[in-house]
Structure 1
């Protein structure tokens, strides 16, 4: 078990959300599931906490009730090796959600994600400072990141 684990607070959709995330990312699994007992506060027998893994990252999903909701102040950032991976994850995670700027999106549960092609930080940190600034300007105009457009911007 990793030392620090992100806990995602859901009203009552933790199990549905975990199953969705497991369908989006290959090779994930449920590691543990705990249910509420007679002492509550959730209905007896309903899912309380699910510990799960996606893309090598352990997370917790908690059915904690409506007291808290997600905000963009915390997001899950996904490193994508290819444009195809960006395109697939963007499509799957925006289903029922909403697109944001610069590779950010909210899924149908309100959780914020950053879908980041590996080329983006490489171009932003490249040796051509002016090219990096052109990449930044190009990215600021995008929702889903387009690597070919970034590469063209870098080259000028």
Structure 2
């Protein structure tokens, strides 16, 4: 049996191309690979005008995605999010600022944010994995307590919490 490629499909209400252009402008090694348009076929089901953007295929740092203009029926929720591993605080700051631009301020906590399209992202420093792997349960508890008070994760503050 061959391994199938898994491509997340993101449902938008008319903003698929705008979203794909936005995301590909943020992540390195990213590009739009294909844009498909609605035709008259199936109009009674989809109610979109012929020529409107149907699907935008794109890549973010080599990972394939599909953006679908499906209509207003479905919205994003934090039940699905994308985790962005950041090598240092500069990367955390960059992705936090870029992806958070125009997003819902009320939906920012513990490194999570919702972007201007409502899609949830986890902006996480790779250092957090190392910090949380400490064998001292009390230290990890202090780090967790510090993290729960943060909106954007701050590596220096997490390390201070670890050190006590």
> TM-score when scaled to structure 2?
0.91
Which one of the candidate residues 46, 70, 76 is aligned to 1:70? 76
Provide the secondary structure at the position in 1 that maps to 2:109: coil
Shift of 1:128: 2.3
Shift of 1:107: 0.4
Whole-angstrom distance in 2 between the partners of 1:95 and 1:68: 22
In the alignment, what sits opposite 1:97?
A: 103
1:125-152 Cα shifts (integer Å, max 9, x gaps): 1222221111111100000000000001
Shift of 1:55: 2.1
Matched, 1:48 2:54: yes
1:2-36 Cα shifts (integer Å, max 9, x gaps): 62111100000000000000111122011222111
**Which 4+ residue blocks in structure 1 deviate beyond 2 angstroms?**
none
In the alignment, what sits opposite 2:154?
A: 146
1:32-83 Cα shifts (integer Å, max 9, x gaps): 2211111242211111111111022111100000010101100111010110
In the alignment, what sits opposite 2:123?
A: 115
| Higher mean displacement: 51-60 or 4-13 | 51-60
Whole-angstrom distance in 2 between the partners of 1:2 and 1:50: 20
How many aligned positions are there?
156
Whole-angstrom distance in 2 between the partners of 1:121 and 1:7: 28
| Higher mean displacement: 135-144 or 92-101 | 92-101
Whole-angstrom distance in 2 between the partners of 1:33 and 1:2: 22
> TM-score when scaled to structure 1?
0.95
In the alignment, what sits opposite 1:10?
A: 12
In the alignment, what sits opposite 2:35?
A: 33
Say what the alpha-carbon RMSD is for the aligned residues.
Answer: 1.4
Q: Unaligned 5+ residue runs, structure 2?
A: none
